[in-house]
Amino acid sequence: MSSTLIDSAEVAEGYRAGRTLPLRVELVRQLKRRRTIVMGGILFALPFVLLIAFQVGGGPGGGNNRVNLMDTATLSGANFAAVNLFASAGFLLVIPVALFCGDTVASEAGWSSLRYLLAAPVPRARLLWSKLVVGLGLSLAAMLLLPLVALAVGTAAYGWGPLELPTGGELAAGTAAQRLLVTVAYIFVSQLVTAALAFWLSTRTDAPLGAVGGAVGLTIVGNVLDQVTALGHWRDFLPSHWQYAWLDAVRPRLEWSDMIQGTALSITYALVLFALAFRGFARKDVVS
């Protein structure tokens, strides 16, 4: 039925498939949703929570002879921002990615509004494209929000200064800002697998929680498998194996090799899953 409607609409005066469901309309819809506001509030509050924890606990690294990135949190605003990324990259930043990309199509099906969007008529590829772009955009915004707030909070609490490295030495403030941008960019790319998995599941189910939970669950399984040293080099094929490759960006000399491998693996898996989502949705019998 959808294809017949689209065929007849294409000859109607003024109809342009590329103008249906504009990105700005989808973006406004998603920004107004409660889960977007709640997720943004959590990420905004995290730096304040860590600041209070350090104030109450007397600073990180107490009684530990080994110096790591967490131990440098109170040395400058740049260090505080880097520590916030380190504390959240493994799990917390997975949540908004899975939420924004996994909830998008499944929620429409759950509300029984998906078939009406397609009958508007909005081409299926256009609908998926709009929702994917907005989902990825919100995911990137979430990843930028955390370090920006942390940098502001850390600078107010500990001052503006160089990024003190746990291995010794420091990076000038300008260089540190560039390295933090590299870090955020890599974390975003490394999470494309989670985004693609959540998006694919979202096109296969009418339950948003199933899509989001499935993506988060499989990400956790990947993290667990990466700890199994008996797997040897097979772990190199796990995206989670490279999730902390960005730590090479907070060293005196920027190393790219691990980040390049992690990026290549993540993009490869993501492209396959995105292709499966578009192909499967194009053939799906939408009844909700």
Residue 239, classified by CB atoms within 10 Å of its CB into exposed (0-12), middle (13-18) or buried (19+), is: buried
CB 39 within 8 A of CB 142: yes
Task: Kindly report the pTM of this predicted structure.
Answer: 0.85
Query: Across the chain, which distance is largest between two alpha carbons, in Å?
Result: 74
For residue 113, the 8-state DSSP code is -
Contact (Cβ atoms closer than 8 angstroms) between residue 79 and residue 154 = yes
Tell me the residue type at 146. L
Exposure class string for 147-176: b at 16+ Cβ within 10 A, else e: bebbbebbbebbeebbbbbbeeebbeeeeb
What is the share, in percent, of the chain residues with pLDDT greater than 90? 37
Instruction: Compute the chain's Rg from CA coordinates.
Output: 21
Lowest-confidence segment of 71-75, 245-249, 258-262, 268-272 by average pLDDT: 71-75
Please report the DSSP string for 11-52 in residue order: TSTT--GGGSS-HHHHHHHHHTSHHHHHHHHHHHHHHHHHHH
> Residue 163 above 50 pLDDT?
yes
- Residue written as token pair 């990324």: 85
pLDDT tens column, 103-150: 888 887 777 677 666 666 777 888 888 899 999 999 999 999 999 999
Q: What stretches of 58-172 show up as alpha helix (H) in DSSP? A: 77-89, 94-102, 104-110, 114-118, 124-158
pLDDT at position 12: 53
